[in-house]
Structure 1
């Protein structure tokens, strides 16, 4: 649970009956797969376990697979517990992301877990697309084995910043720098997606390590879906309501403890940052100068 998470949903709902604006357009409950998601491709490669409480994604030589939320959202916090492909997972990519599902001017917030050869650290790549502009990759080597057990991966998105969390450790912050002319996702709702697919042309050591199909099928597992945000279509006033908990003062910047954790991750586990890649960006991108 987030260290600064607000009141539990039952208490919050009771409190808001008296003091808050209506919450009819705010989705704030644990989601289930059947209620809130649908299969987007390769239905035969997605299995529901324990009545849909856990989802198994399967990748083999025939196909990968994917699923998506039934609705789109404007701002909020989404999280899932994921157990990644174990063993030799080189060439595989397990993804959890938000996407506006627009062709040219898309907004997207990505977690991409890049498979590896056995015994090597698992790398998570994050990327931010805003108003169609992407190429903002950062990569972090995870400090645990994400295939041994479930871990929580979350995206907080509000008017001030986007924060990517791994087990409540912030690993990426993308601030709203629209005042500096930097695009920020503020006007397009986004759906929630996940996929398991083969990408051995780039995923592991830049494509040097190819997928070993003798190890197939590959499995990833998902559970504890949590969506808290303004669902669309609903009254537009929800997305701009300052009473939404994720817009609160304590969520507009990292806390002191989160700042320490963030710096620890970046100092000890970051292996690539587009902000420092002078071959791609001879001039430092303006959003990189803002820091935390």
Structure 2
């Protein structure tokens, strides 16, 4: 093959590969997979919709949600949180079944703080309508200085919350011990930015300082890989889905090491050890990771 012909072939091959990645990869713009649910004047598209800015001021917060619901899979977003004095604000990224009595929900809630104090992320899990499973972690970096990736992995075996691929929370499927596990209801992907100074920072002791408004959070690289509902009826039970593979049924050795580090150094609250709320340790807390 001549050099010119070979280079032309490689260029065509490169274009084909690039096109394939574009079709199979994450959405190119926010509006492909999401819709604004609350106060569209407070959500601004950036870079042609590849990123968005959420705004909280004294008039309103805001929120958005996925256009579809999903049953199992992995969702992730890159988020840059509110810089400076963010006390009293909550930036949330979560999955929700939108069913009141028996809702399932998987929560990331980023609790703002006074300038110079660490950001706290609270996670919570609702299964078959039962929540109150809060855990709080002080972040080991400044989440307002740059984007970081926050992910929720959900399969038949476990739910794992990740920050930059570091697991901070694991909830195992222990249905064999009659412990509820969310597996029957599809969930949408949601995010909100709102005022919660009655509880968000030091239990409500630190109030929001509106002189610092507007409060701004940024999102990009929206990635959803899962079984859409409505969609192929056998998708959620298909053991060949990549997120159901052996590698994702338990933490690997490196993940387990990182998880122990987070638990030892950065957990500041765990409902499992709160004897004032739970004199008897909840049964799911006894599971072995």
TM-score scaled by structure 2? 0.91
Distance 1:192 1:74 in 2: 11
2:150 alignment partner, one of 111, 130, 153: 153
Which sections of structure 2, spanning at least 5 residues, go unmatched? 1-15
String of CA shifts for 1:170-203, please: whole Å, max 9, x gaps: 0000000111111100100000000000000000
| Conservation of the 8 A alpha-carbon contact between 1:98 and 1:109 | yes
Aligned length: 269
CA deviations over 1:192-216 (Å, ceiling 9, x no partner): 0000000000000000000000000
Q: Is the 8 A contact 1:29 1:228 kept in 2?
A: no
SS of 2:227 mapped into structure 1: strand
1:29 maps to which of 25, 28, 32? 25
Residue 103 of structure 1 aligns to a residue in which SS? coil
- For residues 65 and 260 of structure 2, the distance between their equivalents in structure 1, rounded to whole angstroms, comes to 32
Query: Paired residue for 2:263, among 254, 263, 266?
Result: 266
Q: 1:231 & 1:123 partners in 2: Cα distance? A: 31
Query: Given the alignment of the two structures, is residue 70 of structure 1 paired with residue 67 of structure 2, yes or no?
Result: yes
8 Å Cα contact 1:28-1:227 kept in structure 2? no
Query: Distance between the aligned counterparts of 1:182 and 1:47, measured in 2?
Result: 42
- Rounded to whole Å, the distance in 2 between the matches of 1:28 and 1:240 is 22
Separation in 1, partners of 2:59, 2:177: 47
The partner residue of 2:77 within 56, 75, 80 is 80
Shift of 1:103: 1.4
Q: 1:28, CA displacement in angstroms?
A: 6.0
| Structure 2 match to 1:105 | 102
Ranges of 4+ aligned residues in structure 1 off by more than 6 Å: none
TM-score by structure 1 length? 0.90
| Cα shift at 1:29 | 3.0
Q: Distance in 1 between matches of 2:44 and 2:104?
A: 29
Alpha-carbon distance in 2 for matches of 1:78, 1:40: 19
1:96-138 C-alpha deviation (Å, 9 max, x unpaired): 0000011111000000000000000000000000000000000
- Written as runs of structure 1 = structure 2, the 5 A alignment for 1:92-131 is 92-131=89-128
Counterpart of 1:19 in structure 2 is none
Which segment is superposed worse, 205-214 or 30-39? 30-39
| Alignment deviations for residues 34-83 of structure 1 (CA, whole Å, 9 cap, x no partner) | 10000000000000000001100000000000000000000000000000
8 A contact 1:42–1:64 mirrored in 2? yes
For the pair shown, the structure with the greater C-alpha radius of gyration is: 2
Residues 84 and 94 in structure 1, CA contact (< 8 A), matched pair in contact too: yes
Q: C-alpha distance in 1, partners of 2:162/2:181?
A: 19
Aligned residue number for residue 134 of structure 1: 131
Name the CA distance, whole Å, in 1 between partners of 2:260 and 2:91.
26
Q: Is the Cα–Cα contact under 8 Å of residues 28 and 228 in structure 1 kept in the other structure? A: no
CA contact (8 A) 1:82 1:223 kept: yes
Distance in 2 (CA, whole Å) between partners of 1:105 and 1:28 is 34
Alpha-carbon displacement from aligned partner over 1:219-247 (angstroms, at most 9, x marks no partner): 00000001110011012200000000000
Tell me if 1:39 matches 2:36.
Answer: yes
